[in-house]
Chain A
Amino acid sequence: MDALMPREDRGGPAQPLLLAQGLRKHFPVPGGLLGRSGKVVRAVDDLSLSVAKGETLGVVGESGCGKSTVARLLIRLIKPDRGTMVLDGDPVDEPHGITINELRRQVQMVFQDSYASLNPRLTIAETLAFAPRAHGLPASEARARVRDLLDKVGLDPENYAGRYPHELSGGQRQRVNIARALALRPRLIILDEAVSALDKSVEAQVLNMLVDLKTELGLTYIFISHDLNVVQYLSDRVLVMYLGKIVELGSVEAIYGNPQHPYTRALLSARPSMEPRRRTKEAPIQGDPPNPIDPPSGCRFRTRCPFAEDVCARVEPPLADTGAQAVACHMRVAGSGHSKAAAP
């Protein structure tokens, strides 16, 4: 198998590109006797998702809700405590499936910090040629690929190939990071706050480029961001997380046009108004997100939810399909015992 050719589509357009089932990651909390407190951060708890071929799946949620942990689990930078993954029909890291190395070739990641992710001692050309060379591409072909990659991300190869990271602006460095993610011709790119550190005028350039690359190369994106407007702009479907759990998942139209979960609603109406004559009068919810070390029992949002009732503290709401979207809230589960729920 030539590791440098684009991977063939295997299961056809209807087969999800990536399926994750019951992913869990708990981090031990240092401290206490012998440096082990016995407590854990429940960063990601039994999370399942699927990514369709050619779509952009947006992931939103507040700081610490587990977005980056999900990303790192999906490319196996960290090992899940539990859960399985399937890439275009092939189980990952299982006897009859594909290896983690193969997963990491087909799924690439771009991080927020454009500087830290580039080796300061390598020129841009050396950085971009590194992985293709390691996969056995001859030097002359690697040079051609570097030129092609720089062209693709809008950097003139003549001008940029020989530069070092510190000789680039933040926007240019992020273009290089994207070029590097493309170097092995992946199918899925996970963008974790990839435009968040950029100035707005530069962010717009990079967003336009991401849209173009996706069409040109037939890519699939997972786009993680705390910027709800940018997620709305790019995504086909959106996943909303709160304290390690999915609270709502649906089409971008459903999530932004008709949000069902009280947290999604709060998050959307917490966006600053762009209309000076209609400024926000009241914050949609009070207080800070609770500590993920000891998340609230039952529904993790209950400590800030204006609709919380007894059942919310006792029973964890399942992620239930409501038609246009899936929602984890007792108000949407018939017969849950919540006064606003339909009769069973």
Chain B
Amino acid sequence: MGANASQLEKEIGSDQFPANEHYFGLVNFGNTCYINSVLQALYFCKPFREKILEYKAKNKRNKETLLACLADLFYNIATQKKKVGTIAPKKFIARFRKENVKFDNYMQHDAHEFFVQLIDSINECILEKQQAGRNRQQQPQIIPTNQEDISSETLTPDQQNILNDVSLNGSNTAPGSPHGQQQQQGTDRQQENTWVHEIFQAIVTRELRCLNCESVRSTDEVLNNLSVEVHQNTSITHCLRCYFTTETISAENKVHCDNCASLQEHQKRTRLKKLPSILVLHLKRFQFLGQFNRPLKLSHRVVFPLELRVFDTSDDAVNPDRLYDLAAIVVHCGTGINRGHYFSIVKSHRFWLLFDDDLVDKIDPSYIEDFYGLTSEIQKSSETGYILFYQARDPT
């Protein structure tokens, strides 16, 4: 690893090496590449790293939470004397395993599942801290929630079902919940926005438009990432366009419109209402198919550009043309969800780097093509983009 590290430094060149930047591999503690790959991707999502380091600066002495462990790890990397090297994320992994029984073993896990769990846990830590602070200072900072066009209370159960049916990635919103996941978690402190929300939160709105009177009802779902279906020989743009659907509900499926006071044809649309600063796209490459009782990997070739915009934004979306740059890719290698290997490719300043546990390599961006997937339908091992991190170009 020493040789690898110095080689990287040589390859970049001391005069070219970005100031205050550190490229450190992470030691694998037995199938922890699913953790390492996501941590590296997050480390190179600038707004996220800045917030974590800011947290570290503000909370010198802190009880050991997952957030504190992550902050220590990022701080440790960011303050290394050397520019390249290896770090063992021992404390973080131990803490994560302790808090999450499911991950408390030496098995390979789903990097996406880890990402979701990590973001939720961090958010939870921040909220707890805010709560504690508020109890001391008595200064509530409640940020108003988004206004709905029509509150969901006015909907009939049928309409609720229609709206909820539009669920995109299996995480159904609870009936009667206009705030989706937020409400599921149940406490009113969930209504507050944390910086985690500011960075990752996407709001997906499902509209039900009466084709007779044009009135619109909508429900929102708050997501930290979008899980898109993959199709052979398509682009991530197309996957997103499939995610955001428009369909007409007619004939026997007509829905009651309160405004018209009768059954009417409706148009059902799913649109992106809030565009996050970091748009995390999860390619649903692991799917249960028919006779197999374990998820199979879809190695379909899905191309993803270095820049991205979202086509299907809602009419009331703020900054609907937000331009994103690809910041990091978590790549899955192998045939199944519980086997194989993960590594990540990140962009740092002008360079593209490949972080494979303790190994770090500078790569040519054209190498990314190798991780689009396979055009052959034959099931075989592949190295494919699995989680894409797109970062908004506008200043945050």
Q: Do A and B bind each other?
A: no
